[in-house]
Amino acid sequence: MSEADRNAILRRRAALVGSALAALGSCARTSPPPDHAAAPVIAVPPPAVEDGGVTAEPDGGDLPSRRENHAGEPPPLIVPAGVGDTARAHYEQLVRTYSDAYKILDQMEAGIANGCSINDAKCESQWRALAENEFSLTEAFRFFHVCPGSSQDAKDFNELEKAHRDYYTERLKKVHSAIEAQIDAGGPGSDKKWEQMKRDVRLHKPVVCLSFACIDW
């Protein structure tokens, strides 16, 4: 084997090792909604799935993030027609993630409206359900990670994702404010009981940590 051949092999091996280290390094942290920023977030490539009822934007229509929404309604959860395969996978992941998050928020809002004290034994199941839903919101975003891209598809996606993130954050703040008001009304020890409930939920939920290298799209 010539010296040139050996050098070529060594270069290829070095490239493979570099790629492996980039993909299997320390756990990557994404930018989840602010109220869940302290939670560990797993960054994995979006899975390829069937459309499953996701509505496509008509050809030639405006991008979803640029549509005007009715007051109090979330941005559209749709996949624009004509986008590339990578962008489509990201849009589908966004639809799944935020659909789940909005459903969980609906359930939390309904539970809070009950007005049941956390110190009332009859209300324990309701508060535990709130704690479960609080954790489920973190879980909903655990696998939601989209690498930034330089294409127009990527920029349009980022615009829509930001609109959903802003809407979600505002709703979550209202939910947390309502919970805090109920906690305050419950009297001494209510805050500690609530924190303990959330800790109990987290203790029984294993967390796996993965990372991957971003590729421009």
Q: How confident is the model at residue 54 (pLDDT cuts 50, 70, 90)?
A: very low
pLDDT exceeds 80 at position 30 = no
Q: How large a percentage of the chain has pLDDT more than 90?
A: 49
Q: Return the pLDDT at 3.
A: 60
Q: Return the pLDDT at 95.
A: 97
- Domain chopping of the chain, boundaries: 28-203
List the single range of 22-31, 186-195, 205-214 with lowest mean pLDDT. Answer: 22-31
List the single range of 7-16, 120-129, 163-172, 202-211 with lowest mean pLDDT. Answer: 7-16
HEC secondary structure over 95-157: HHHHHHHHHHHHHHHHHHCCCCCCCCHHHHHHHHHHHHHHHHHHHHHHCCCCCCCCCHHHHHH
pLDDT exceeds 60 at position 94 = yes
Task: Look over the chain and give the mean of its residue pLDDT values, rounded to a whole number.
Answer: 76
